[in-house]
């Protein structure tokens, strides 16, 4: 690897150099390296600086924060955490978020895979209309079903219930789920299914024993997209649920925006507690997550 010169070259000279055809290089040129390297470093620093600042500030008392907003804590104060945990009811919030996320994600996976198998491998005249209606749903803006969902949930007494949150979350995950799974199952050879049929297997057996194991990549993509989506969802659950005991983490943590916004120490501790679960999830599965997110950005 070449060393990067510390002086920045004359821009005119750079222009001249550009027009000269360069001989074979396996690496990019000096100027590009400096330019791109600087942007990368700058953006990376800006990406984590606010979070590091947040973490450091969460160990200051509110009085200390007002005098020392940028530096390290003079004395490390840990009591913000138990206090924020208690005020924010964090244990309940995290438990609820885990519940909504896992149950709706499992439901989306099972229902999407079943529908996908039927759409991709069993011939029916209904497929174009049904499958098409799922695909259209990918472009849905959630606001356009907000008021109807609220009125419907109210009419059938599902406001402020766990089921009233799970059903819409499952329904909202289905368009992308059915789309990704159907496109994936289409790629599985018919001969595999046919030979299982000849051996006497029923369709549900084939789905459970052959299709599910083969579809592991798309299932992990779908699981990641759904976990990120449901865990962070705010607008809908904020409208469908008002009881403290049923709130999810994003809704519950809003308390620290208004009521406690001048009690900085506790606010910061609450934010750290709130972002830790997903941060750990990300650090544990970061390659799978980045793969899943880019695979989920489907062709429009």
Partner 1 sequence: MKTHRTKAEERHAYLLMVLPAVLIYFAVVAFPMIFSLWISVSDYSGGQIFGGSTPVRFAGFSNYVRMWNDRYFWISLKNNVYIVLLSVFGQIPLGFILAYALYRNMIRAKGFFQTVIYLPCVISSVIVGILWQTIFSPYGPVTEIMQYFIPGWQNTMLSNPRTAIVPVLLVMLWYYTGTYFIIFLANLQKIDKEVIEAAKIDGATEWQSLRHVILPALSGVIVTSSILAISGSLKSFDLIFAMTGGNPARRTSVLALYMYDTAFRGAPNYPRANAVSTFMMAFSFLLIIITKLVEKKFGGREE
Taking the complex as a whole, the smallest distance from the CB of residue 63 to partner 1 amounts, in Å, to 13
Taking the complex as a whole, the smallest distance from the CB of residue 202 to partner 1 amounts, in Å, to 7
Distance (Å) of CA 30 to CA 14, 166, 193: 10, 54, 56
Taking the complex as a whole, the smallest distance from the CB of residue 121 to partner 1 amounts, in Å, to 9
Per-residue exposure over 272-290, b if at least 16 CB sit within 10 Å of its own CB, e if not: bbbbeebeebeeebeeebe
Residue 100's H or E segment, with its range, is helix 90-121
Q: How far apart are CA 223 and CA 244, in angstroms?
A: 27
Q: Which is nearer to partner 1, 134 or 184 (CB)?
A: 134
Taking the complex as a whole, the smallest distance from the CB of residue 132 to partner 1 amounts, in Å, to 11
- Identify the three-state secondary structure at position 142: coil
Please spell the DSSP secondary structure of 57-99, one letter per residue: HTTS-HHHHHH-SSS--SS---THHHHHHHHHTHHHHHHHHHH
Q: How far apart are CA 191 and CA 208, in angstroms?
A: 17
Distance (Å) of CA 289 to CA 180, 215, 300: 16, 17, 21
Q: Which is nearer to partner 1, 105 or 267 (CB)?
A: 267
Q: Which residues contact 37 (CB under 8 A, 6 or more apart)?
A: 4
Residue 163 sits at the vertex; the CA angle it makes with 157 and 169, to the nearest 5 degrees, is 115
Q: How far apart are CA 19 and CA 62, in angstroms?
A: 58
Q: Which is nearer to partner 1, 33 or 162 (CB)?
A: 33
Query: What tokens appear for 67 in the block?
Result: 């005098």
Taking the complex as a whole, the smallest distance from the CB of residue 92 to partner 1 amounts, in Å, to 17
Contact between 245 and 162 under an 8 Å Cβ cutoff? The reply is: no
Q: Which is nearer to partner 1, 44 or 72 (CB)?
A: 44
Taking the complex as a whole, the smallest distance from the CB of residue 245 to partner 1 amounts, in Å, to 19
Taking the complex as a whole, the smallest distance from the CB of residue 277 to partner 1 amounts, in Å, to 10
Q: How far apart are CA 93 and CA 17, in angstroms?
A: 59
Taking the complex as a whole, the smallest distance from the CB of residue 82 to partner 1 amounts, in Å, to 19
């Amino acid at each position: 690897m070449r060393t990067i010169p510390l002086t920045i070259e004359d821009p005119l000279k750079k222009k001249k150099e550009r027009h000269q055809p360069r001989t074979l290089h396996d690496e990019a040129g000096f100027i590009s390296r400096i330019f791109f390297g600087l942007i990368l470093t700058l953006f990376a620093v800006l990406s984590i600086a606010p979070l590091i600042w947040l973490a450091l500030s969460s160990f200051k008392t509110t009085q200390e924060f007002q005098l020392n907003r940028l530096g390290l804590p003079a004395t490390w104060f840990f009591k913000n955490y138990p206090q924020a945990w208690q005020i924010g009811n964090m244990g309940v919030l995290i438990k609820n978020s885990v519940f909504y996320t896992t149950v709706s994600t499992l439901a989306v996976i099972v229902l999407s895979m079943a529908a996908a198998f039927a759409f991709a491998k069993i011939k029916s005249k209904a497929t174009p209309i049904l499958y098409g209606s799922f695909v259209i749903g990918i472009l849905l803006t959630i606001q356009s079903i907000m008021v109807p969902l609220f009125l419907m949930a109210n009419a059938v007494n599902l406001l402020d219930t766990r089921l009233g949150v799970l059903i819409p979350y499952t329904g909202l995950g289905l368009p992308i789920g059915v789309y990704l799974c159907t496109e994936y199952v289409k790629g599985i050879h018919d001969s595999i299914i046919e030979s299982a049929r000849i051996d006497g297997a029923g369709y549900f057996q084939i789905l459970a024993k052959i299709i599910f194991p083969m579809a592991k990549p798309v299932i992990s993509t779908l699981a990641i997209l759904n976990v990120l989506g449901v865990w962070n969802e705010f607008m809908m659950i904020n409208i469908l649920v008002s009881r403290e005991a049923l709130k999810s983490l994003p809704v519950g943590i809003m308390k620290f925006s208004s009521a406690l916004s001048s009690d900085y120490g506790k606010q910061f501790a609450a934010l750290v507690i709130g972002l830790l679960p997903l941060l750990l999830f990300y650090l544990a599965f970061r390659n799978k997550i980045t793969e899943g997110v880019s695979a989920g950005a489907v062709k429009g």
